Amino acid sequence: MEMRGLALSYASLVIVLSAVAAAQAPLRNKQPPGFDDFTQRVQQYMKLRKALPNERTTRRQDQIVDRRLSIADAIREARPAAKPGDIFTPECAPEFLRVIRSTLRGSRAASVRKTIRQGEPVMGVHLTVNGAYPEHLPRTTVPPTLLLRLPRLPDKLAYRIVDRDFVLQDTEARLVVDFIPGALP
C-alpha cells in the first residue's frame, strides 16, 4: 500500500513536472503536426533547387539581378507545369487554413492584424505560380505568432501574405512557388 502510494506520488510529480516543463518550453516547435505532405513537397522542391546555382555576395547589383533572373528561369524550366496546389496540396491546405484563421481570430487577433497592416499590405496583385513577385512592391510582414505555428522552411523559401492570399515564395528567385488563394479571412 505504501509502495503504491509512493508510486502514485511519483507519478503525480512526473505529471506536474512535465506540465511545468511544457509551460516553460519555447513556443518554437521544430515541426508542428499535420503538415507531413507539405514538408515532403518542400523537400522535393529543394532537391530541384539544389541543382541550381546560388546567389553570391558582390558589389555589383547587375550580377545579383542577372543571377536572380537566371535562377527564376531555371526553376520555371524545371517545373513547367507547376500550378496552385502542387505544394499546398488539398491534403495540407485545410491545415494551413485552420492555423491561419485561428491565428487571425484568436485572442491576439487585433495585434496580428495590426502587424499585417503595418507591413503596408499589398492589395490587388494577381499571382501566378512560377510568376515573379513584383519588384517594386513591399514584401509584407508575416506575423511572427503565425510563423511559430507553421512548418519551418528551408533558407531559400518564405511564407508571404499578398492581399488575402497565402504565398510560398522562393526568396532568391523572387518567384511564387505556390499559393492558397483567399486564405486570409
119 contributes a contact to other proteins by CB under 8 A? yes
Residue 106 is which amino acid? Answer: G
Residue whose C-alpha is closest to residue 37's, from 78, 99, 80, 86: 86
Which residue of 36, 73, 77, 120 would you call a contact of other proteins, by CB under 8 A? 120
163 contributes a contact to other proteins by CB under 8 A? no
Is the separation of the CB atoms in 166 and 82 below 8 Å?
no
Q: Give phi and psi for 155, each to the nearest 5.
A: -50, -40
Least Cβ distance, residue 147 to other proteins (angstroms): 4
Least Cβ distance, residue 93 to other proteins (angstroms): 20
Residue whose C-alpha is closest to residue 113's, from 151, 152, 145: 145
Residue in this structure with the C-alpha cell 492584424, named with its chain if needed: 113
**Residue 166, strand partner residues:** 161, 180
Least Cβ distance, residue 113 to other proteins (angstroms): 9
Nearer to other proteins among residue 74 and residue 148 (C-beta): 148
Nearer to other proteins among residue 41 and residue 160 (C-beta): 160
CA angle 88, 90, 93 (to 5 degrees): 50
68 contributes a contact to other proteins by CB under 8 A? yes
Nearer to other proteins among residue 82 and residue 112 (C-beta): 112
Which residue of 60, 80, 107, 126 would you call a contact of other proteins, by CB under 8 A? 60
Residue in this structure with the C-alpha cell 506575423, named with its chain if needed: 143
Nearer to other proteins among residue 9 and residue 118 (C-beta): 118
